[in-house]
Amino acid sequence: MHALRGNHITASHRRGIPARWRRAGGAIAALTLPIASSGVAAAPARDASSCRVTHTIPVSMGTPSGVAVDSGAHTAYVTNYSSETVSVIDEATNKVTHTIFIGYYPYGVAVDPAAGTVYVTNLYPGAVSVINAATNKVTRTIPIGAPYGVAVDAAARTVYVTNSSAGTVSVINAATNRITRTIPVGVGVSGVAVDPAARTVYVTGGGFRDITSVINEATGKVTHAIPVGDTPYEVAVDPAARTAYVANYSGDTVSVINEATSTVARTIPVGSAPYGVAVDPAARTVYVTNGDGTVSVIDAATGTVIATVPVGAFPYEVAVDPATHTAYVANEDSGTVSVIQMCR
């Protein structure tokens, strides 16, 4: 049985969250409210049978957890928690080309494609590793407390890191690799995502608070606390549609947030114990990892699950390459990455 990662869950604890972390109510009923004024046309119906795993890539028996994609370089980065490494995958060949030793139990990962930089959160003793994507070398280690999730606003040259035990978000200047601001949010913060066009950051409450906090990038202040589902862990943003998606682990749902109103517009039932979430904006598709070894594929236009794709054991994070419309899923207990093609 894996150990708990701070206040977060490892694979063997899915569906077994300690009682003090759970909220009353269980699964949340699906709402039928439309997403207001997204300005994006509805997508045509798609063939669910075309959603499938095309490749399974062995990466590490060190529990692959986080995954991020550099679309321009056609490269995926996978953190391997137990082996303290990052696997670098060539998307063209679906093979691991480099394994980078990180140390400090790496979990979250995000890419700044313009700068050619990869950021990795290290849970213990607490730091962010900065990797040069050209050399696959760690160039800087930034002490940061208890980091978990990480997201990059490439245009603003800013990195956002959630600190779960401190209940804060650290703001890193990507040019200097220095922490410029620490934003109080609330205990148990987990996932983080950025809408660069709206200059807005979304932070989930994890196992302690069933809310998603909204941060104004310009002021560094929390502007809204949006009630979502039970035990929200990861969050992803579709900037074009002004929509955020939150995976609610204990509720078996995804909350769809209308960014314009900072309210939940729709609640979508998915698989058992959803954790990771990623968006393909152009394809209007959302991918959600479930603790039952599947990925729910959501049509963003209709808010319905159009396919349930079997992957490896205990899938954690998922990332999408919007150029190829391909999803990459880190399967923690299988030591693999599943590659899912877009539903046609």
Mean pLDDT by 10 residues, the chain (344 residues): 42 34 28 34 57 92 91 96 95 97 92 96 92 97 94 97 94 96 94 97 90 97 97 96 97 98 98 97 96 97 96 97 96 96 77
The three-state secondary structure class of 137 is strand
User: What local confidence, expressed as pLDDT, does residue 50 receive?
Assistant: 76
- Residue 250 · residue 285 · CB < 8 Å: no
Q: Residue ranges of the domains in the chain? A: 11-341
User: What local confidence, expressed as pLDDT, does residue 185 receive?
Assistant: 96
User: What local confidence, expressed as pLDDT, does residue 216 receive?
Assistant: 98
Token pair listed for 227: 């009630």
The DSSP result for 286-322, as a single string, is EEEEETTTEEEEEETTTTEEEEEEE-SSSEEEEEEET
User: What local confidence, expressed as pLDDT, does residue 6 receive?
Assistant: 43
User: What local confidence, expressed as pLDDT, does residue 20 receive?
Assistant: 23
- Residue 6 · residue 165 · CB < 8 Å: yes
User: What local confidence, expressed as pLDDT, does residue 325 receive?
Assistant: 94
- Residue 133 · residue 122 · CB < 8 Å: no
Q: Which residues of 40-79 are buried (b: 16+ CB within 10 A; e: fewer)?
A: beeeeebebeebebebebebbebbbbbbbbbbeebbbbbb
pTM of the full structure? 0.88
User: What local confidence, expressed as pLDDT, does residue 207 receive?
Assistant: 76
Superfamily of domain 11-341 in the CATH hierarchy: YVTN repeat-like/Quinoprotein amine dehydrogenase (2.130.10.10)
User: What local confidence, expressed as pLDDT, does residue 152 receive?
Assistant: 98
